Amino acid sequence: MAEAFRDKATPGEVPQLESGVDHDKPTSEGMTLQVLDQLCVGCSYCLMACKDDALIVEGLCEVIQDNCTDCLRCLLWCPTGALVYA
């Protein structure tokens, strides 16, 4: 489902970071992507960014940690700051 949604609705390229790559691999071991429920508005932009089917948005976003590769594309797209890496 996420793949079809992404193909149809991708608003543009994933923004680049200052490093020049399309995402930065986190350097800190033991950190995971987390959702701040109080900031999530269920917009699904993060779903469009994720290429690894590691997110579900049913009202609020949830991370499927087993699928997450820590690429942080979703974090760049979240308009509310609801995704954090900590």
Chain contacts with ligand SF4 (rule: CB under 6 A): 33, 35, 40-46, 49-50, 52, 54-55, 57, 61, 63, 68-74, 77-78, 80, 82-83
Shortest CB 12 distance to ligand SF4, Å: 15
User: Which helix H or strand E contains 45, and what residues bound it?
Assistant: helix 45-49
Taking the least distance from each CB to ligand SF4, the nearer of 18 and 58 is: 58
- 74: helix, strand or coil: helix
CB of 63 to ligand SF4, least distance (A): 6
Compute the distance between CA of residue 86 and CA of residue 75 in angstroms, rounded to an integer: 12
Closest CA to 50 of 74, 18, 83: 74
> To the nearest whole angstrom, how small is the minimum distance from the Cβ of residue 55 to ligand SF4?
5
